[in-house]
Amino acid sequence: MSALNDLTEAIKKGDRKLATASTETELAAGTSPNTILEALIEGMDDVGQRFKANQIFVPEVLIAARAMKEAMAILEPKLVEAGYKPLATAVVGTVEGDLHDIGKNLVVMMLKGASFQVIDLGTNVSPEKFVEAVKESGATVVGLSALLTTTMPAMKKTIDAINEARLEGVSVIIGGAPVTQAFADEVGANGFAPDAASAVDTVRTLINA
């Protein structure tokens, strides 16, 4: 098995040692950073699809994402040198009044694993902070997370703030345990995702629309 195949398998299994060793082996052999990134993304895509199909669960996704993160720490400087451009920039956060972050963290890791640049604003993020981050970064995607029904109205406030700021070309995707497609339609979101893997698919669709 080649080191590239090892790399894809390492991400699927969440094997951090193999992921970092295979990344270093490929770089030393002169493999292009983009080719190595594709092998990493292939592994993370597989993890995302199995998560969607309920074949694996949150702990396995977190372990795979950690392996991806460590491999990316080695690869990122080489990608920058090679002039690599991410697919798009996304600003992600849990809305104002909500301190839950596991789902949001999963989305952040899955998006990074799918070749997006992600600005993670954390939890309890005000509408103003989302707007400011989009203006500063030029992001074209905003991801809003909420785990409590009591904080869902903050999603509408944030979407309204983005619209009022006249941030053109920005798509908003929302998700979280109590959130539904009907609610997304009601508050004017561009997309809804029931889980982290679906979030990646939805964001890909939105940026290609």
3-class DSSP state for residue 85?
Answer: coil
Question: 84-93 burial, b if ≥16 CB within 10 A, otherwise e?
Answer: eeebbbbbbb
CA distances from 30 to 57, 83, 112 (A): 36, 16, 24
Mean pLDDT of the residues in the chain: 95
Listed in sequence order, the residues at least 6 apart from 45 whose beta carbon sits closer than 8 Å to its beta carbon are: 113, 114
Backbone angles phi, psi at 144, to 5 degrees: -110, 130
Listed in sequence order, the residues at least 6 apart from 154 whose beta carbon sits closer than 8 Å to its beta carbon are: 95, 96, 97, 98, 127, 146
| Cα 149 from Cα 208, distance rounded (Å) | 31
Topology of the domain comprising 3-81: 1.10.1240
Contact of 135 with 74, CB cutoff 8 Å: no
Q: Is 35 exposed, middle or buried (0-12, 13-18, 19+ CB in 10 A)?
A: exposed
Superfamily of domain 89-208: Cobalamin-binding domain (3.40.50.280)
Least confident window among 11-20, 77-86, 168-177: 77-86
Residue range 26-50: mean pLDDT, rounded: 95
| Cα 127 from Cα 95, distance rounded (Å) | 8
| Cα 53 from Cα 75, distance rounded (Å) | 30
The larger pLDDT score, comparing residue 195 to residue 181, is at 181
Q: Where are the domains of the chain?
A: 3-81, 89-208
Task: State pTM to two decimals.
Answer: 0.86
pLDDT more than 70, % of the chain: 99
Residue 141 CB: number of other CB atoms within 10 A? Answer: 27
Q: What local confidence, expressed as pLDDT, does residue 199 receive?
A: 95
Strand order across the 117-120 sheet:
117-120, 89-94, 141-145, 171-175, 191-193
* pLDDT tens-digit map of 72-130: 999 999 998 999 899 999 999 999 999 999 999 999 999 998 999 999 999 999 999 99
